[in-house]
Amino acid sequence: MYDWLNALPKAELHLHLEGSLEPELLFALAERNRIALPWNDVEALRAAYAFNNLQEFLDLYYRGADVLRSEQDFYDLTWAYLLKCKAQNVVHVEPFFDPQTHTDRGIPFEVVMRGIKQALVDGEKKLGISHGLILAFLRHLPQEQAFQTLEQAMPFRDAFIGVGLDSSEQGFPPRLFERVFAKARSEGLHAVAHAGEEGPPEYIWEALDLLKIVRIDHGVRASEDERLMQRIIDEQIPLTVCPLSNTKLCVFEHMGQHNILDMLERGVKVTVNSDDPAYFGGYVTENFMALHEGLGMSEEQAKRLAQNSLDARLV
């Protein structure tokens, strides 16, 4: 089944480039940049990948991202991810990057953007993988800083297709970012947002009605609100679901409890994605495989999920 799932043509629509930083590359970049790490080796770092919730993961994720310093580092990170995509027949990617994670440490915006974009352009030319890059705002920081980030990004307007919203969800509702999303949309950018990962269905309503998002990242808690479910089905609003992430971060206790296939069967446009594959135990094929093993996903369901990902592309 693994080889069959691996060979299915797929798009990945929910992937944080910083979350694809494998421990081996993290150590190599630390050495290149002469950064001391608190872990003795790759195994010790991997052993730290045990999380009870989103925040515990984010604390380690931001710490890991600190080894990314130069344009070459961002290139190498993105290129390594694209090679994984090639090996798994992921033919189109719409990855996120978090500029504020880097600009807040003094890394110039253009260093981040140039390294990532060059790798994506090379991926298109050399690997045949098409892309649309999404700039994500960190929701634990004030909207004013998101505005500054958008301003820094505008000289590179053609390099990305949309804006997203990520980081700590609980206590940081979408409504806090209504104005910056309106500004981004006025520039012709698509809007997406993490909503209903840990946060309640109300956050999904806000993301749809106030941020005017065209795709919901995670959204698994939509199943708690029947009226919301009906809207998502009627309007065929895609959900970028990340099964291994959800079990690793204890959104579901185990894969057998995941609601993705129930949603699929109700007509929700759900897709399968890896979120932060270096931290959660696998890339897209591993996420499909986990659904097969944990939920009994059939080949026919896998085909529909893969087709949904191709249909839900923004570009």
- Choose between 8 and 45: whose C-beta lies nearer to ligand ADE: 45
Task: Tell me how far, at minimum, the Cβ of 128 lies from ligand ADE, in Å.
Answer: 27
How many CB atoms are closer than 10 A to CB 21? Answer: 25
Please say whether the beta carbons of 291 and 260 come within 8 A: yes
Strands 190-195 and 215-218: parallel
Binding site for ligand ADE (CB under 6 A): 16, 19, 54, 61, 166-167, 194, 197, 245, 275-276
Residue 197: active-site member: yes
- Choose between 58 and 111: whose C-beta lies nearer to Zn ion: 58
C-alpha distances (whole Å) from 65 to each of 15, 62, 69 are: 15, 5, 9
Name which position in 67, 275, 285, 288 contacts Zn ion (CB under 5 A): 275
Strands 134-138 and 130-131: unpaired
Cα gap 240→269, rounded to integer Å? 9
Which one of ligand ADE, Zn ion, none interacts with residue 197, CB within 5 to 8 A by kind? ligand ADE
Task: Tell me how far, at minimum, the Cβ of 116 lies from ligand ADE, in Å.
Answer: 15
Phi-psi region of 166 (alpha: psi -120 to 50; beta: other; left: phi over 0): beta
Restricted to residues 13-42, the positions that interact with Zn ion (CB under 5 A) are: none
The catalytically annotated residue of 18, 197, 198, 286 is: 197
Task: Tell me how far, at minimum, the Cβ of 199 lies from ligand ADE, in Å.
Answer: 10
- Choose between 167 and 308: whose C-beta lies nearer to ligand ADE: 167
- Kindly give, in sequence order, each residue whose CB lies less than 8 Å from that of residue 151, ignoring residues fewer than 6 positions away: none
Active site residues: 197
Site residues, Zn ion (CB under 5 A): 275
